[in-house]
Amino acid sequence: MAHPEYWQQSKEFLSNVDPKLGKLFLEHPDYSISSRGEALETLLRSIVGQQISIQAAASVWGKLANKIGKIRPENVLSISFEELKSCGLSKQKAQYIINICNHFIFHSIKSHSYWEARSYESIYEELITIKGVGPWTAEMFGMFYLLEKDIFPIKDIGIIRAMNQTYGEGEALRIEKIIEISEQWRPYRSVACWFLWKSIDSEDVQY
């Protein structure tokens, strides 16, 4: 998949409603986002990345990818539970990865066509039925695989930190204030979030 068609339009809209975001766009003029085009990889990377730094997640993913080879559900399931854990996964994360792969096999998910022509809401509802896939993981899938333009992952630690830095001058904002600020970004909240992540980390966030 290429960069989203709404990219330039969203930046113009957000610059008009929020000058602080406009400043971020100027600081990162060449930054853009694209999907890996691999649904399973995006979900597994999201599980690996839960509640750890980008660098730590990259290390664990590297070990996991080396062990698995091509990221297919049957390849993942051919590896023992202990081998999955040896890559740096907790017991819970190893089980969540197995659960996702079983879901892909059960539903014969083999290409992007499975997700096409469906609303994000229906995909979200399906994903959160998988044990281990909560709202945040489903939101990462929406943002980084489907490239949905209006998702706001309210419990993402990085987003909260970036908003505290950009809008609170380093002080912790109340959750009500965070929601209030984010509401003005509709219908491009995902775009705002991508740039907020970029503002606090030199490495691009990508699942």
Query: How many beta carbons lie within 10 A of that of residue 118, not counting itself?
Result: 11
Q: Give the whole-angstrom CA distance, residue 141 versus residue 191.
A: 14
Place of tokens 């792969």: 101
Helix axes 157-167, 189-200, angle to 10 degrees: 80
Q: 142, exposed or middle or buried, with CB in 10 Å at 0-12, 13-18, 19+? A: buried
Place of tokens 């979030």: 193
Q: Are residues 48 and 139 both part of a single domain?
A: yes
Q: Are residues 172 and 87 both part of a single domain?
A: no
Instruction: Give the model confidence (pLDDT) of 25-44 as tens digits.
Output: 999 999 989 898 999 999 99
- C-alpha to C-alpha distances, 188 to 51, 65, 97, 136, nearest whole angstrom: 25, 33, 30, 18
- Confidence label for 79 from pLDDT (cuts 50, 70 and 90): very high
Task: Inform me whether the pLDDT recorded for 1 exceeds 50.
Answer: no
Q: Are residues 66 and 119 both part of a single domain?
A: yes
Count how many domains the chain has.
2
| Single residue among 144, 174, 190 that ends a domain in this structure | 144
Range of the domain at 26: 7-33+151-200
Task: Inform me whether the pLDDT recorded for 2 exceeds 70.
Answer: no
Taking the CA atoms of residue 180, residue 200, residue 202 and residue 19 in that order, the dihedral angle to the nearest 10 degrees is 50
Q: Give the whole-angstrom CA distance, residue 32 versus residue 49.
A: 21
Residues near 191 by beta carbon (within 8 Å), at least 6 away in sequence: 6, 7, 10, 11, 14, 149, 185
Residues near 202 by beta carbon (within 8 Å), at least 6 away in sequence: none
* Average pLDDT, integer, range 139-167: 96
Residue 133 lies in a domain: yes
Q: Structure tokens of 136?
A: 């945040």
pTM across the whole model:
0.94
* Average pLDDT, integer, range 96-103: 98
Q: Are residues 131 and 159 both part of a single domain?
A: no
Instruction: Give the model confidence (pLDDT) of 55-71 as tens digits.
Output: 899 999 999 999 999 99
